[in-house]
Chain A
Amino acid sequence: MKWFWYASPQTFYPLAGTIARASGIVAALLAAAGLYIGFFVAPTDAQQGEAYRIIFIHVPAAWMSMFIYVVMACWAALGLALNTRLSGMMASALAPTGALFTFIALWTGSLWGKPTWGTYWVWDARLTSELILLFLYLGFMALQAAIDDPRRADRAGALLAIVGVVNIPIIHYSVVWWNTLHQGASVSVTRAPTMAATMLTGMLLMALAFWAYSIAVSMVRVRCIIRERGGASSS
């Protein structure tokens, strides 16, 4: 019962503020722990030296980029099914963060590629899928930006997000297949070294930190959207 009470933007507004503050603190703590483990505690890799440490940012960012898209699509589906305004606002609030993580994944992937394989960009399956995911996010944001009426923007974005989420596995597998078709002698840039326990812990901590960060940032953004659409009575 309580969920539906919070489904109104007015009542959600203060709750969002509280969640944002709490998640922000959690994110900072987890990030500190994760980065410490990643950059100081985890052992040096035998093959890749110190350069591999970027996976502590690259892999969690890639995970989050896909996870956020799925969450966005869930909010979108909820909005279409229950016709609640807040669900659409949540989806719109999540998109820029998802795009940011996708960009971070691509950028760190490139930075990883240079010292290990000698090139900044490799057309391997993971990076190419991430690139297309970035286009999907940007398309979503562009579509919402082009529509003036917020209701239509929410519905259109929701439909696009759902079509996108259905297509993501298809895109991913077709890219993997494409990659095997054109496989040269190159090995995938994103193949991580065999995981020591500390490495895995570090990555998980960073993933959780990114997750808490996404929650914090999207809560702040949702508050902005609520204010923009005239739903908030007071701060």
Chain B
Amino acid sequence: MLATARAIVYRDLLVAVRRRSDVAVALLFFVIVTSLFPLGIGAEPNLLRAIAPGVIWVSALLSSLLSLRRLFEADHDDGTLEQMLLGASPLGVVAAAKALAHWMVTGMPLAVIAPLIALQYDLAPQLFGVLALSLLLGTPVLSLIGAIGAALTLGLRGGGVLLSLLVLPLYVPVLIIGAGARRRASSCCSPRCWWWRRRSRLGQSPRH
């Protein structure tokens, strides 16, 4: 089972490394969207500082959504999905491995460059760690939930928009907790309390 998971993650990472444009586009989208908000709302520093975590989280969410469509579609097109379906391991392992690979390619880079965006929004430096950590913990959950939507809408007309419609309501708790983490951190208790809450969310896994 572990061998299967490793093989799937390895293959997806290799494809991502050799087709760097996919990863770059998702990251670029993230950066562009975060730049749109000040243009739309106004660049008042206090305002930007207040909306920073929310804006970064929403942009991360949308960026993650962008690449979800291709999660299973690419494999369906070239026949590798059938190989995985007829594989020696349970489908749950396959789905989890795909979600993990998706996270490593889209979610993790977002968490890494989020502090740079936070700089643009003049967020206090001591909150960078909380922000990055919340994204690091939240984006795998986004990938897992997104995998459910991607699997259900595989091959359907209007798949991309339908996928967003299905998955965004399920993303809401992650967004609330993730973006709310900064408030908690800056106000009183340690990040530990929402960290614990986050771990329980990671127990969700997609079905085929």
Which residues of the other chain, A, contact B172 by a CB distance below 8 angstroms? 132, 171, 174-175
Nearest-neighbor residue (CB-CB) of B206 within chain A? A163
Size of interface on A: residues with Cβ below 8 Å to B: 23
Considering only residues 106-155 of chain A, those with a C-beta below 8 Å from chain B are: 132, 135-136, 138-139, 142-143, 146-147
B: interface residue count bin: 20 to 34
Nearest-neighbor residue (CB-CB) of B179 within chain A? A178
Candidates B156, B168, B201; contact of A135 at CB < 8 Å: B168
**In contact, A135 and B165 (Cβ under 8 angstroms):** yes
Nearest chain A CB to B55's CB is how many angstroms away? Answer: 15
Is residue A167 contacting chain B, with contact meaning CB distance below 8 A?
Answer: yes
Asked, given contacts A163-B170, A171-B173, A175-B176, whether A142 binds B165 with beta carbons under 8 Å apart, the answer is yes
Candidates B169, B177, B180; contact of A139 at CB < 8 Å: B169
DSSP class of B's interface residues: helix, strand, loop or mixed?
helix
Is residue A26 contacting chain B, with contact meaning CB distance below 8 A?
Answer: no
Which residues of the other chain, B, contact A177 by a CB distance below 8 angstroms? 176-177, 180
**Measured between alpha carbons, how far is A156 from B165 in the docked complex, in Å?**
14
**Measured between alpha carbons, how far is A181 from B188 in the docked complex, in Å?**
12
The 8 A CB mask of B65-106 against A (1 = contact, 0 = none) is 000000000000000000000000000000000000000000
Asked, given contacts A160-B152, A167-B170, whether A139 binds B176 with beta carbons under 8 Å apart, the answer is no
The 8 A CB mask of B143-182 against A (1 = contact, 0 = none) is 0000010001100111000100110111011001100100
Asked, given contacts A156-B152, A175-B172, A181-B183, whether A139 binds B158 with beta carbons under 8 Å apart, the answer is no
Nearest chain B CB to A179's CB is how many angstroms away? Answer: 10
Is residue A159 contacting chain B, with contact meaning CB distance below 8 A?
Answer: yes
**In contact, A174 and B176 (Cβ under 8 angstroms):** yes
Is residue A41 contacting chain B, with contact meaning CB distance below 8 A?
Answer: no
**Measured between alpha carbons, how far is A100 from B58 in the docked complex, in Å?**
29
Is residue B207 contacting chain A, with contact meaning CB distance below 8 A?
Answer: yes
Candidates A136, A143, A181; contact of B169 at CB < 8 Å: A136
The 8 A CB mask of A208-226 against B (1 = contact, 0 = none) is 0000000000000000000
Candidates B148, B156, B162, B168; contact of A163 at CB < 8 Å: B148
**In contact, A147 and B180 (Cβ under 8 angstroms):** no
**In contact, B166 and A146 (Cβ under 8 angstroms):** no
Asked, given contacts A159-B207, A175-B172, A178-B176, whether A143 binds B153 with beta carbons under 8 Å apart, the answer is yes
Could you list which residues of chain B lie within 8 angstroms of chain A, going by C-beta atoms? 148, 152-153, 156-158, 162, 165-166, 168-170, 172-173, 176-177, 180, 183, 201, 207
- 7 smallest CB-CB distances across A and B, nearest first, come from A174-B173, A135-B169, A178-B176, A139-B166, A174-B176, A146-B156, A156-B152
